[in-house]
């Protein structure tokens, strides 16, 4: 009998998490800009597990431009900018393997807890780290 199960389920909390905004925004980039300005609020997701791998974070000041990260990145997600001797990371290409973090000799890279990475434009500000 399926009906008792359906009725029971109606009164249970959903298993899935809500999207981090009350309603799905038409543009995630704009939504994040509004969050920065305090005009929108992110609904916190479930607690992140230890060693969660979100978007790669880059400490530009620490970077010595050695290019080790560009060499190990299996996804070719890191571009070296020769004139600045700094890097640019394309998060849309990243596989979150963390190899760049491990190889960086000056700890300029880390896996952040930034997880809201869905976007219509793979080159949006949200998905470029430099
Ligand atoms: S985490 Fe992996 S895929 Fe992403 S930028 Fe670093 S090395 Fe490349
Ligand atoms: S490995 Fe570290 S120091 Fe070297 S280019 Fe990459 S971020 Fe900069």
- CB of 89 closer than 6 angstroms to any ligand 1 atom: yes
Instruction: Taking residues 75-83, report their average pLDDT.
Output: 98
Whether residue 18 has pLDDT greater than 80? no
Rg for the chain, CA atoms, rounded: 19
d(CA 4, CA 26): 38
Say which range, 69-78, 90-99, 111-120, has the weakest mean pLDDT: 111-120
Same domain, 53 and 21: no
Same domain, 60 and 96: yes
Counted domains in the chain: 2
Atom of ligand 2 nearest to the CA of 66: 4
Same domain, 3 and 20: yes
Same domain, 6 and 25: yes
pLDDT digits (tens, 9 = 90+) for 99-110: 999 999 999 999
- CB of 56 closer than 6 angstroms to any ligand 2 atom: no
Distances in Å between the Cα of 25 and the Cα atoms of 29, 41, 54, 91 are 9, 12, 21, 21
Distance from residue 105's CA to the centre of ligand 2 (Å): 7
Same domain, 114 and 90: yes
Report pLDDT for 19. Answer: 65
Tell me the pLDDT band of 123, cut-offs 50, 70 and 90: very high
Percent of the chain with pLDDT over 90: 56
- CB of 99 closer than 6 angstroms to any ligand 1 atom: yes
Q: Which domain holds residue 69?
A: 48-130
Alpha helices in the chain (DSSP H): 3-10, 28-36, 68-72, 99-103
Residues 6+ positions from 33 with CB-CB distance below 8 Å: none
């Amino acid at each position: 009998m399926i009906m008792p199960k359906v009725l029971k389920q109606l009164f249970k909390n959903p298993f899935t998490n809500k999207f981090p905004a009350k309603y799905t925004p038409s543009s995630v980039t704009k939504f994040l800009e509004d969050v920065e300005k305090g005009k929108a609020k992110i609904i916190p997701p479930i607690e992140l597990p230890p060693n969660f791998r979100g978007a790669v974070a880059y400490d530009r000041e620490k970077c010595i431009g050695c290019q080790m990260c560009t060499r190990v990145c299996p996804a070719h997600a890191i571009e070296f900018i020769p004139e600045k001797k700094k890097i640019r990371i394309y998060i849309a290409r990243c596989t979150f393997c963390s190899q760049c973090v491990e190889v960086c000799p000056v700890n300029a890279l880390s896996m952040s807890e930034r997880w809201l990475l869905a976007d219509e434009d793979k080159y949006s500000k949200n998905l470029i780290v430099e």
